[in-house]
Homo-oligomer: A and B are copies of this chain.
Amino acid sequence: MKRTHTVAILGHGVVGRGVCDLITNNQRELVHYLGCEVKIAHILDLRDFPDSPYGELVTHLFDDILLDESVETVIEAMGGSHPAYEYTQAALSAGKNVITSNKEVVANFGDKLVRLAAENGVSYRFEAAVGGGIPVIAPMLSSIRQNRILEVRGILNGTTNYILTKMFTYGDSFESALSDAQALGYAEKNPDADILGTDSARKIAILTALALDMLPSVDEIHTEGITGIRASDVRFAESIGHRIKLLGRCISNGGKPVVCVAPFLIPCESPLASVNGVYNAVEIVAEPLGNVMFYGQGAGAGATASAIVGDMIPIVTGGGYNPIVPGFNRAEHFIRAEFSTFSSRFYIAADERHRDELTVLLEAEPYSEEGGEVVYITKEMTEKEMDALTERFEGELLSKIRFI
């Protein structure tokens, strides 16, 4: 076997540095399992890092990497769609493998990039794009694909899970829990991609491609965030033995797939209910396998670096074959249309002055009344039915959260 596998890393932020550290610190493990050393030839960043042990490897020119024939694998840890997408295209076209943690690029351009990789006989791999260090993509590509997948559901965003856990454990308001997450560095200054559900939507799009062989457009996915969750919603959930979690879900639904991101009420016996703090988890329901769940750190330098370097193993030991191709076909407009048929029970809270009208419309007695609020747990109904029922309360309902 050859002696060295040469890589270049795009981006020297938290993730890029984590990859440098892993390759440096675990060289013994890499040699043992890969059968060769791993050498970092270049690091692309706009900045200089005079004090970093990797400072000498930094270049500001992507061409230094693209034109270096010794570079076999490019690790893209830049984030953002551009120029990450263009650099990935260029690297694959030049016959280099690409490994990425960039869910935005995979969700938006994964179909094109997987095909481009196949055409060039190289790999495009992205275990780190979903669930951080948790092996999720790899098992979905090998260990479980002989099953019929009925559903994939996951806590895919650590920031929102931290906020919901804080609200549950300490009774915090959403705003206070968010400030706390920002102070600890778990949430960014502009937290919209997390709290509005966009990040989770990108990740469930990728998982849908692997589960159902169709990559939905992210903006076709029904997406709700957690900004509307109130401390009293969390308390209500607890009072009935449930937790509120932001889930990405993709349900095969007999060939009419439903994909969505929304907060759900989960019974506390469910394994997803006990996934707390910044941890992520993905649960797969398959036939005949049953339920399996993968759990771990969804972000952070070490976990993400582990997933990125893990993607080198099949590249180095198994050649350039890319097994991802079957699933990554763009699905046009199949998602939003089907969501109206999605069916669940709802928890509804409203001002008590709507009680009489809601009791008639929901065909349910109030579950409880307290502090000027009336609460219902509805029978199972479709989104379409619920929309019709609550149309006239637009903006008036205090809470509307689905049961899983």
Contacts and interface: CB of A to CB of B under 8 A. Distances in A.
Given A271-B275, A314-B142, A317-B323, A147 B26 contact: yes
B289 A303 contact: yes
A99 to B, nearest CB: 12
A306 B144 contact: yes
A57 B323 CA distance: 33
Nearest to A30: B146
B292 A295 contact: yes
A303 B326 contact: no
B145 A33 contact: yes
A79 interface: no
Interface residues of A, number: 58
Contact of A307 (B143, B273, B305): B143
A61 interface: no
A326 B18 contact: no
B139 A22 contact: no
Contacts of A398: none
A94 interface: no
Contact of A22 (B146, B302, B313): B146
A356 interface: no
Contacts of A310: 142-146
Contacts of A279: 271
A274 interface: yes
Q: How many copies does the complex hold?
A: 2
Given A26-B147, A139-B139, A144-B310, A303 B290 contact: yes
A149 to B, nearest CB: 9
A286 B305 CA distance: 12
Contact of A147 (B134, B288, B306): B306
A107 B302 CA distance: 32
Nearest to A284: B296
A288 B305 contact: yes
Contacts of A29: 145-148
Interface of A: 18, 21-22, 25-26, 29-30, 32-34, 127, 133-135, 138-139, 142-148, 269, 271, 273-276, 279, 286-297, 300-303, 305-307, 309-310, 312-314, 317-318, 323, 326
30 contacts: A21-B288, A29-B147, A32-B326, A33-B145, A33-B146, A133-B290, A133-B292, A134-B292, A135-B142, A138-B142, A143-B307, A143-B313, A144-B306, A144-B310, A145-B310, A146-B306, A146-B309, A146-B310, A146-B312, A271-B275, A271-B295, A274-B274, A288-B301, A288-B303, A289-B303, A290-B296, A290-B302, A291-B296, A291-B297, A292-B296
